[in-house]
Chain A
Amino acid sequence: MNQYEETIQKIHDDPVLDALNTPEEVGLRRYRSRLSLDGIGYITFGIWSVVKIIASLFLSTEFYTKMIGYMQTEDEPEELVKLVFGVFIAIVCIMTLLVHFKIGVAAIRYSNGTRKTRGFLFLVLIMIVLTAHGLSTYFTQHDYDIKFLDDTAVASAIADLTGIFILIDMVISASRIKRFRRLQREAKQED
């Protein structure tokens, strides 16, 4: 304990406070806060992913035209193809949002004790793999030729890296919370 902590303790020694500041209680507060922030961060990341999808359609007409070309056959009118394409994109956006929202809300509920199980971590692990794989396509699509790597690709890669970081921190924080809750139960049983 350093001199500063000794001063605080000297002024305010209180048994109620001692019970609130055991290593288990402090650890639980720290990792609950982290997991809650991770959850909020991942929901925000989901919104960013949807914005990215929609922005890439509006800004990249080449991609849009290519996709319409793939989907259209000789007999189908172009308007119908565009409608189907629009519905497809809407479904993708909604699914993306739902997955991010589910993971984020589950993390927040686990952090505040409303949710008891850590089943959402399986989905987290899947998303880590998928996001990491998606990250690599920024570099492989042009056969690792860096001169084709534009600013938007770099920015998106950094954002995705952040998403992976959030997911990994979720796994760590959820595990630590489980450990501290177990230690807390053991400490109460000993008392």
Chain B
Amino acid sequence: MQMDFHYYATYCAAILAGYSHEESMDICYSAQFVDLCSKTLLGKIGAPAQAATTQLQLELMDGRSDLLAVQESTSIWSSFHFLPGNLHKEKNRRTKLYMDKYRLVCMPNGELVKKTVQLAMGQSLQHVGIAMHVLADTWAHMFFAGTPSLVINNVTTGDFYEMKEDGTQSRIFFRHNPSVPDDPEKNLYTNSLYQSSETSVMNLGHGRAGHLPDYSYLKYRYLPAWSDYRMVLKDNPSDYMHAFCQMIYALKKLRAGDDDIRTEIYDTDAIAGYEERIDGILKKRQLIACDDWKAFGEELSGMAIPDFDIETYQEEYMQAAPDQKEETFLGRFIRAALAQKRMVCEEIQSTGNLLTGIPMRRRKKDKK
């Protein structure tokens, strides 16, 4: 998902869940900040690099491709952007190496998303924002894994078809020109280059499908590498609506301190009277819907939503004394990011999957 959903739509969901304008701003800022909190930024402000919630393109390009780099990459992307749906799913006649990656495929309504929301219970608004980012991305990024893997994340680019509302289908074409914006009118989009190396960074996440999962208006079918030659359907308007309603449900639970979190529950009552407006925003054929979501949010709250500024809280963190840093906005965000990453990595490692690293407990045992 992009800024339109992570920042503005999360703000709208928070207002509808009963949070105040200031609280909603903290939540939505944190949700958007997950897409920007890289090692480079953390290094600039003197924060721990382990709290990185994303990797910039330049960092990925400069990165190594050995096991340690794959583990670092997987621990970040699986924890914040491609939360695994089912760490115990089965598939016949596959090696452990394949299954470790297959089980990292992102899906909504998994056990981990429930734990993500529960982890944010009683915590800071920054933690709530991170949880909302992770929850929303389970809908947008489903069917892709947060680990570089050709056999999981590759797609057959010749089999992408947009399914329009009138029942017609039109072929989607890809090109490798990131300097030119995608062209929805001509169905021309940019994706990552095909690389036959299994752990190439080009095969990380939804790179092979370009930005298609992040465009709320697109409904399309395609052939992913993991699906054993079965077509899958990605209905973004429906998925984004599910994500929005599930966010409202989760936010209400968090605000009330009720840790009885369940999956597959969507608070459609909260959007009563707004369904058409939201549906219109989601289905409007545009690459980014910031203006529409912002207008909707300002109508809901009656307050102006400032544009996102990555530097808003950096000075506060840098100027704070070392023992006061954790109480700053970014300090709370960093603490929440570390907790989220630790939880997800431990869950993955407890299944015997070492793609996010060797479990800390095992390391202590080895030392003895």
Contacts and interface: CB of A to CB of B under 8 A. Distances in A.
Interface string A23-40: 000110110010000000
B90 A7 contact: no
A16 B223 CA distance: 14
A11 B236 CA distance: 11
A17 B222 CA distance: 10
A108 to B, nearest CB: 14
A3 B91 CA distance: 11
Contact of A8 (B163, B169, B232, B239): B232
A29 B230 CA distance: 8
A16 B89 contact: no
B237 interface: no
Nearest to B88: A3
Contact of A30 (B109, B142, B229): B229
Interface string A162-191: 000000000000000000000000000000
B235 A12 contact: yes
A3 B110 CA distance: 11
Given A7-B107, A20-B221, A29-B223, A12 B228 contact: no
A7 B233 CA distance: 13
Interface string B92-133: 000000000000000111000000000000000000000000
Contacts of A29: 223, 229
B92 to A, nearest CB: 9
Interface residues on B, range: 20 to 34
Contacts of A21: 230-231
Nearest to B139: A11
Given A26-B228, A29-B229, A3 B223 contact: no
Interface in A137-169: none
Given A4-B86, A7-B85, A16 B229 contact: no
A14 interface: yes
Contacts of A7: 85-86, 107, 109
Given A16-B233, A33-B229, 12 more contacts: A2-B89, A2-B90, A4-B86, A4-B90, A7-B85, A7-B109, A12-B235, A14-B235, A16-B221, A21-B230, A21-B231, A26-B229
Interface of B: 85-86, 89-91, 107-109, 142, 163, 169, 221, 223, 228-235, 239
Interface of A: 2-4, 7-8, 11-12, 14, 16-17, 20-21, 26-27, 29-30, 33
21 contacts: A2-B90, A2-B91, A3-B89, A4-B85, A4-B86, A4-B89, A4-B90, A4-B107, A8-B107, A8-B232, A11-B142, A12-B233, A16-B221, A16-B233, A17-B232, A17-B233, A26-B229, A26-B230, A27-B229, A29-B223, A29-B229
